[in-house]
Structure 1
Amino acid sequence: MDRILTRLAVARREGAPFGITSVCSAHPLVLRAAIRRAVRDGGPMLIEATCNQVNHLGGYTGMTPEAFIRFVERVAAEEGLDRSQMIFGGDHLGPNPWRKDAPEAALEKAKAMVAAYVRAGFTKIHLDASMGCAGEPAALDDRTIAERAARLAEVSERTAKAIGAPLPLYILGTEVPVPGGADHALEELRPTAPEAARATIAIHREIFSRAGLEDAFSRVIAFVVQPGVEFGSENVIGYRPELARELSALLDEEPQFVFEAHSTDYQTRAALTGLVKDGFPILKVGPSMTFALREAAYALDMIASEMVPNYGDRPLAATMEALMLAAPGDWQAHYHGDATALHLQRHYSYSDRIRYYWNRPEADRAFQTMLGALRGKTMPETLLHQFLPQLSAAEAGDPETILISAVDRVLADYQSACGTLS
């Protein structure tokens, strides 16, 4: 399956570009939706975990890289997707979770994390050492970033060889949107300047060569740049091909590579199609899937409140509000305004920081209570139309089917944009 990734640049050069959706989520229903689509379309499926979400110490999901793969494999087995159809990627692997540590201490933890990812079977590795650690500027210079990325690549290479695993494919580059979306309203966003991208590629090539990592660099398939797409808490910056034209043209000078597009959430189908055509064929998506899931779950919460005796008044939403207020660490620094604005952002922001709370026991209990209240019951068409007007007759059914269909509508735009995989 990794051959699909190595074909991306070739296909672009041959004038027949295609793309691949990078599913960035650990939510079981999101993964199930993506796996079902992969089964229906014949695969492959690219699934990515981030350094904060999954690492050798557990991350915020409590899963190590090995545990994450086992978890996804269980869902895939239930849905009939063969393991050979799945590609696992590690995203932003570097010191980010330990930025408050001294640089060397943070880098040592990052090395251990990269080794754990490779040992677990992740074969697409995004090395990101762009963030400053204790005593350093928030953003580092290209040379320091490349030197640290090379040190992480050396660990990755050594680990793969030691266990006889396939040598990884790499993603490099530092100019990425804010993970999880910006924390303010956005008005305009400029793509990475071609000269900046050119310098980033040249510095990484030089430093990897000096470190004896020419073979690893030959397996770099993409660099991360800013194509001019982003979402904030309340708005989305759409892709404008004319602004990225010069950046896209750089790929003609560097035929080994394509660009990887982060924060493509909430882009239109036409915009996603344009990104693939213009050399950004790896489309990373996360919050828009969990946003769609939350939207449908809250609709079902309201439906249950209307039709199920003793269910209560939106207990799922009330549970999530209580959880976020009791443990504000995952949203407080990202949302701004008065009490009403903060309440709305906690639940309805495009940044969807509520996704960090779904795996908590209280949230899971409320979620399962909502599903149990509706399972086996016929939801009147008129009630469905009130709270889920976008639902088609074919999608109406048990609550799990409704939730999975909500996520699948997001994935459908990506599948259409990516076209036929070569």
Structure 2
Amino acid sequence: MSAVQSLIAAHRRGENVGLYSVCCSNEHVLRAAMQVALEYDTVLLIEATSNQVDQFGGYTGMNPVQFRDYVRALAQDEAFPVERLILGGDHLGPNAWQKRPADEAMANARVLIEAYVAAGFHKIHLDCSMSCADDPTPLPDETVAARSADLARIAERTAAAHGLPPPVYVIGTEVPVPGGEASLAGGLQVTRPEAAAHTLEIHRHAFDVPELAGAWERVIAMVVQPGVDFDHSDVHHYEPQAAAALSDFLERQPRIVFEAHSTDYQTEASLHALVRDHFAILKVGPAATFAFREALFALTQIERELLPADECSRLPEVLERCMVEEPRHWRNHYQGDDHQLRLLRAYALSDRCRYYWGEPELAAAVERLIANLQPHASSAILRLLLRQYMPEQHRAVEAGRLAAEPGALIRHRIAACLGEYARACARNRFDPRTGASVQNETSAAAALSDR
């Protein structure tokens, strides 16, 4: 039984534990995630999405093997135990090729699945929910399930051929849009228990062939909509009562949990409630890169106070120029006049600027910002400016828990976001009201019985 299966089994036994998934390729985010996982003694699940990493390189320029090696190199650099590192693939299917005929898109999806599994990605989200060029819209659930089963066959054969542990799978036809909605104006519809039951049944039927019998036993989760999402400026927060019937439905199902996508920007109390209500796998991505951008912009303000204008990195201006010159990652998502578009490019919760940090000019601006501030790391004036622009980090520096070094300040800001997920999922819980470490109910009962 893999670490993922063990955690899911513990949750189904009644332990109030979960699994958080960091869906990101940003180096600072991944380093911060490793520090958080060490602090809270959790495993670390890092997932790549199908448009981010694929056999052709995706928007990161990395195929699955390259992404695996990149993450492992960071883990070695951070002294993070590789045995606690889990790789996953998110939205694996014809997502990146929706504008092509289904046969062509699915042919690419089969190569995609093979590449991910061969590279050692263990948690596989089978997502064939999107219509291709010659498909009806919406795509019938039976077609979604049949295509998912087809990809599972590839995954099973690939793992066996490479002597790798067999993958675990996530299924689901009610899959939220990756990266948040364009607008929440129409409201959110929580998945109905009948819809969840139908999804489960049609996938069970599609997997009901001898070569997939073992694979079905490793379906650990189903993607549903618990009523959480975000758009460019608003967040729809979790309402436990609205999802109560869905949670009750899962109580009657063996083995599986729900996977909640787009949990970015939820309160920590909501994250704890989601895990409690069996949405035991929490996905986070844009919120982490949003925190990265917040840290960089705050440091830019400090840089402007410390240095002459002609020596500054001018990072916000460089970001804006990169996004205007190459608008393909945001122009179909943001609407408004020039002023509104400028604000959305920098500050939208959907954080479309996350696609640009690898651009050479922007990467150079980040490096210059860090290099400009590094000589001031031990100065009193920097600490004074931290009080103004990064108060949370200032408190940590004053308490001796954090060095006033720019890279550490950036990662601390990201870790503040990811720490909420770790606390919601960890076996040793942290009460968000008091900050104190508490045992979950099952662990506390076990401790009492040992006395």
TM-score normalised by length of structure 2 = 0.90
Pair 1:224-2:231 in alignment = no
1:85 corresponds in structure 2 to 84
Counterpart-to-counterpart distance in 1, 2:296 and 2:153? 44
Q: Deviations over 1:36-74 (max 9, x none)?
A: 122233331111000000011100000010100100111
Q: Deviations over 1:297-330 (max 9, x none)?
A: 0111121112112445661001110000011010
2:198 corresponds in structure 1 to 199
Q: Deviations over 1:2-30 (max 9, x none)?
A: 63321344333332220111011000000
State the one-letter code of the partner of 2:37: A
Counterpart-to-counterpart distance in 2, 1:103 and 1:76? 38
- Identity, % of aligned positions: 45
1:275 corresponds in structure 2 to 274
Work out whether residues 8 and 281 of structure 1, in 8 Å CA contact, stay in contact via their aligned partners in 2: no
Counterpart-to-counterpart distance in 2, 1:312 and 1:333? 35
Unaligned runs of 5+ in 2: 429-442, 444-451
2:388 corresponds in structure 1 to 386
Deviation at 1:141, TM superposition (A): 1.3
Deviation at 1:190, TM superposition (A): 2.3
Deviation at 1:132, TM superposition (A): 0.7
Work out whether residues 23 and 285 of structure 1, in 8 Å CA contact, stay in contact via their aligned partners in 2: yes
SS at match of 1:292: helix
Greater Cα offset, 6-15 or 240-249: 6-15
SS at match of 1:267: coil
Work out whether residues 41 and 426 of structure 2, in 8 Å CA contact, stay in contact via their aligned partners in 1: no
State the one-letter code of the partner of 1:400: G
Counterpart-to-counterpart distance in 1, 2:202 and 2:414? 40
Deviation at 1:140, TM superposition (A): 1.1
Unaligned runs of 5+ in 1: none
1:360 corresponds in structure 2 to 359
1:397 corresponds in structure 2 to 404
2:72 corresponds in structure 1 to 73
Counterpart-to-counterpart distance in 1, 2:427 and 2:310? 46
Counterpart-to-counterpart distance in 2, 1:210 and 1:44? 33
Pair 1:170-2:169 in alignment = yes
Counterpart-to-counterpart distance in 2, 1:196 and 1:418? 27
Work out whether residues 324 and 346 of structure 1, in 8 Å CA contact, stay in contact via their aligned partners in 2: yes
Within 5 A, what are the aligned runs for 1:43-192? 43-186=42-185, 188-192=187-191
State the one-letter code of the partner of 1:380: L
Counterpart-to-counterpart distance in 2, 1:106 and 1:369? 42
Deviation at 1:253, TM superposition (A): 2.1
Counterpart-to-counterpart distance in 2, 1:369 and 1:329? 26
Indicate how the Cα distance of structure 1 residues 33 and 311 shifts in structure 2: closer, same or farther if over 3 A, else same.
farther
State the one-letter code of the partner of 1:114: I
Work out whether residues 9 and 255 of structure 1, in 8 Å CA contact, stay in contact via their aligned partners in 2: no
Deviation at 1:416, TM superposition (A): 1.3
2:235 corresponds in structure 1 to 236
State the one-letter code of the partner of 2:410: L
Greater Cα offset, 129-138 or 269-278: 129-138
Pair 1:412-2:419 in alignment = yes
In angstroms, what is the RMSD of aligned CA positions? 1.6
2:341 corresponds in structure 1 to 342
Runs of 4+ in 1 over 6 A off after TM superposition: none
Counterpart-to-counterpart distance in 2, 1:268 and 1:55? 32
2:260 corresponds in structure 1 to 261
SS at match of 2:208: helix
Give the number of equivalent residue pairs. Answer: 421
Greater Cα offset, 258-267 or 208-217: 208-217
Counterpart-to-counterpart distance in 2, 1:308 and 1:101? 52
Counterpart-to-counterpart distance in 2, 1:68 and 1:314? 29
SS at match of 2:53: coil
Deviation at 1:178, TM superposition (A): 1.2
TM-score normalised by length of structure 1 = 0.96
